[in-house]
């Protein structure tokens, strides 16, 4: 067979949590007329043969009396989705032409009349591809073109019909639409690296009254992405405050935005590209697979993966099942979840800020100044021990909230708090930190967590007095580094260590 008769283009398919590139080739051979697609294509791809035949017939295209073979490689990768239609139709149409378009990624489902339609898989696939490759050349349905153009460094051409795609490939030179930067958010440039954020405080901390100390704590948690547990009486503002936390979190890089939005789209959520960090708040009755991911046939992402680069909030913390609580150890420590099945192993990134809220006792009135606690000592002890020491050791900040007071004015807004977070973020990035303070490695800690003599002495006394574990000491150092950043201090001082120690559970 003449090699010149083999044409190909590029497409992609979702393989669990990431897009894998697929090379699509066609060949016409002398044989009984036929049309076959090989390469582990699922039913939606096999059905494309009838859609393609009808779409090409609408252009008065006559199929040659030969056997048409379409190969999707690599052949050991399962492919799914009707977005292969447009590219396959173009391969068949241009089979006799000296036209080479193997540099293009082509996506689109064909209607029987030759119209090109979007599918739910196209956007998450392109998001995932864009996080790994730059300056992709894409031919996509016009209906999704504007959405895709939000992604930087892509060359995009949108088509409404198969005829338009044919006309575009026949033109020289090609006229693509492209944007070099994200068009959806404000940006800040630090050391030639751009980071993006949105100053849209849909839920504002100005609504949280009489909790000035709490707002300081939440600024510290947000600035370094530190895990936090709030304890307080019902109605004091625990959930209300944590729901506002996502709006003051640090900016994200382009890769972080693409990865987070790809995870969100894979879960079936059809949203516009956003620089706003994720916020997930599963109910305490949620099952283990729904939290950590799973499935018998396909390892679907759970709440931990969907919260990647954002906030995972557990309200009524002790009421989650023991299995779920203990399974939190891996994502909190290693920032990943590994789902193992007989046929596959899938790893999801889980680098999130873990926030939790709980009452001080089953009835909630233990800390109340106006209500009487109805719980026995045994009930309180049982309630407290549902959260094990290893889990508490992975929480950076424990804060006991005061009851809200009437007519108390507090003018600290989300905008003010975000400016403090942004200042600390800039200090971290100007030190050339790749990770925010909560996720510093041991090597990075030695490099960036420099303490003066007084701070070192206090930390050593705290280790001896409270019997702190190695993990606890590391978390205190990272937390004090964040507090120092907020206070614009290059070196961790005595006051920073003392404040970090005050956030440990007593």
Which CATH topology does 3-179 take? Ribosomal Protein S5; domain 2 (3.30.230)
- Which residue intervals of 63-211 are DSSP H helices? 85-93, 122-132, 142-148, 162-170
Longest pairwise C-alpha distance within the chain: 90
> How confident is residue 21, by pLDDT bands cut at 50, 70 and 90?
very high
Contact indicator for 184, 275 with CB cutoff of 8 Å: yes
SS3 breakdown of the chain: % helix, strand, coil, rounded to 5? 40, 20, 40
Distance linking the first and last C-alpha atoms of the chain: 77
pLDDT at 247: 95
Q: Are strands 67-73 and 105-106 parallel, antiparallel or unpaired?
A: unpaired
> How confident is residue 1, by pLDDT bands cut at 50, 70 and 90?
very low
Instruction: For residue 275, give the nearest of 233, 310, 299 by alpha carbon.
Output: 310
Instruction: For residue 211, give the nearest of 400, 361, 357 by alpha carbon.
Output: 400
Instruction: Encode pLDDT of 65-115 as tens digits.
Output: 999 999 999 998 999 999 999 999 999 999 888 888 889 999 999 999 999
Task: Count the neighbouring beta carbons within 10 Å of the beta carbon of residue 464.
Answer: 9
> Range(s) for CATH 3.40.50.300 in the chain?
190-430
Contact indicator for 116, 241 with CB cutoff of 8 Å: no
Better-predicted residue by pLDDT, 148 or 271: 148
Q: Which of 61-65, 244-248, 264-268, 344-348 has the highest mean pLDDT?
A: 244-248
Instruction: For residue 178, give the nearest of 154, 206, 202, 195 by alpha carbon.
Output: 154
Exposure letters 385-401 (e unless 16+ CB within 10 A, then b) = eebeeebebbbbbbbeb
- pLDDT for 261 beyond 90: no
Average pLDDT value for residue range 149-172: 90
> How confident is residue 3, by pLDDT bands cut at 50, 70 and 90?
very low
The residues pairing with 340 across neighbouring beta strands, listed in sequence order, are 345
pLDDT at 491: 95
Task: Report the side by side order of strands in the sheet with 193-197.
Answer: 186-190, 193-197, 252-253
Q: Are strands 252-253 and 397-400 parallel, antiparallel or unpaired?
A: unpaired
Alpha carbons 402 and 211: distance in angstroms, whole number = 7
Say how far residue 161 (Cα) sits from the centre of its chain: 33
What's the count of helices (H) and strands (E) in the chain, helices before strands?
20, 20
pLDDT at 101: 85
Task: Count the neighbouring beta carbons within 10 Å of the beta carbon of residue 111.
Answer: 16
pLDDT at 156: 93
State the architecture of 440-506 in CATH terms. Orthogonal Bundle (1.10)
HSE on the CB side for 266, CA within 13 Å? 29
Alpha carbons 118 and 140: distance in angstroms, whole number = 8
Contact indicator for 289, 302 with CB cutoff of 8 Å: yes
Better-predicted residue by pLDDT, 300 or 502: 502
DSSP reduced 3-state for 111: coil
Alpha carbons 448 and 326: distance in angstroms, whole number = 31
pTM, rounded to two decimals:
0.88
pLDDT at 9: 92
Instruction: For residue 282, give the nearest of 205, 206, 364, 352 by alpha carbon.
Output: 352
Domain 190-430 in CATH 3.40.50.300? The answer is: yes
> Range(s) for CATH 3.30.230.10 in the chain?
3-179
> Range(s) for CATH 1.10.8.60 in the chain?
440-506
DSSP reduced 3-state for 391: helix
Alpha carbons 40 and 4: distance in angstroms, whole number = 25
């Amino acid at each position: 067979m003449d090699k010149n008769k083999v044409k190909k283009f590029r497409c992609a398919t979702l393989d669990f949590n990431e897009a894998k590139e697929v090379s699509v080739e066609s060949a016409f051979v002398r044989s009984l007329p036929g049309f076959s697609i090989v390469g582990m294509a699922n039913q939606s791809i096999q059905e494309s043969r009838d859609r393609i035949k009808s779409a090409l017939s609408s252009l008065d295209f006559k199929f040659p009396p030969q056997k048409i073979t379409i190969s999707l490689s690599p052949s050991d990768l399962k492919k799914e989705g009707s977005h292969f239609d447009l590219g396959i139709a173009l391969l068949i149409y241009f089979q006799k032409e000296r036209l080479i378009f193997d540099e293009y990624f082509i996506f689109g489902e064909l209607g029987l009349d030759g119209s090109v339609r979007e599918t739910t898989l196209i956007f998450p696939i392109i998001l995932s591809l864009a996080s790994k490759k730059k300056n992709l050349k894409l031919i996509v349905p016009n209906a999704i073109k504007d959405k895709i153009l939000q992604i930087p460094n892509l060359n995009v051409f949108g088509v409404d019909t198969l005829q338009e795609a044919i006309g575009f490939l026949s033109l020289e030179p090609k006229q693509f639409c492209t944007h070099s930067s994200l068009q959806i958010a404000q940006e800040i440039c630090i050391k030639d690296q751009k980071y993006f954020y949105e100053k849209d405080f849909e839920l504002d901390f100005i609504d949280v009254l009489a909790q000035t100390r709490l707002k300081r704590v939440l600024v510290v948690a947000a600035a370094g992405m530190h895990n936090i547990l709030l304890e307080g009486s019902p109605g004091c503002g625990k959930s209300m405050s944590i729901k506002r936390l996502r709006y003051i979190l640090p900016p994200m890089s382009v890769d972080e935005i693409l990865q987070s939005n790809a995870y969100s789209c894979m879960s079936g959520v059809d949203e516009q590209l956003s620089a706003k960090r994720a916020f997930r708040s599963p109910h305490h009755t949620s099952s283990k697979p729904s939290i950590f991911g799973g499935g018998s046939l396909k390892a679907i992402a759970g709440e931990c993966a969907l919260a990647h680069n954002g906030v995972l909030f557990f309200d009524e913390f002790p009421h989650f099942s023991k299995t779920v609580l203990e399974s939190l150890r891996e994502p909190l420590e290693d920032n990943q979840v590994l789902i193992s099945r007989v046929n596959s192993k899938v790893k999801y990134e889980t680098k999130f800020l873990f926030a939790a809220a709980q009452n001080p006792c089953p009835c909630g009135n233990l800390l109340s100044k106006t209500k009487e606690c109805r719980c026995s000592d045994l009930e309180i002890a049982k309630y407290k021990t549902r959260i094990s020491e290893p889990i508490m050791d992975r929480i950076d900040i424990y804060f006991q909230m005061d009851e809200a007071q009437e007519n108390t004015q507090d003018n600290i807004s989300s905008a003010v708090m975000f400016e403090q977070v942004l200042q600390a973020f800039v200090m971290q990035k100007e030190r050339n930190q790749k990770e925010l303070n909560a996720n510093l490695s041991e090597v990075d800690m030695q490099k960036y967590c420099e303490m003066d003599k007084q701070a070192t002495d206090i930390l050593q006394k705290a280790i001896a007095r409270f019997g702190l574990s190695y993990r606890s000491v590391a978390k205190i150092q990272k937390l004090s580094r964040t507090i120092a950043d907020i206070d614009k201090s290059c070196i961790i001082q005595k006051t920073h260590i003392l404040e970090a120690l005050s956030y440990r559970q007593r």
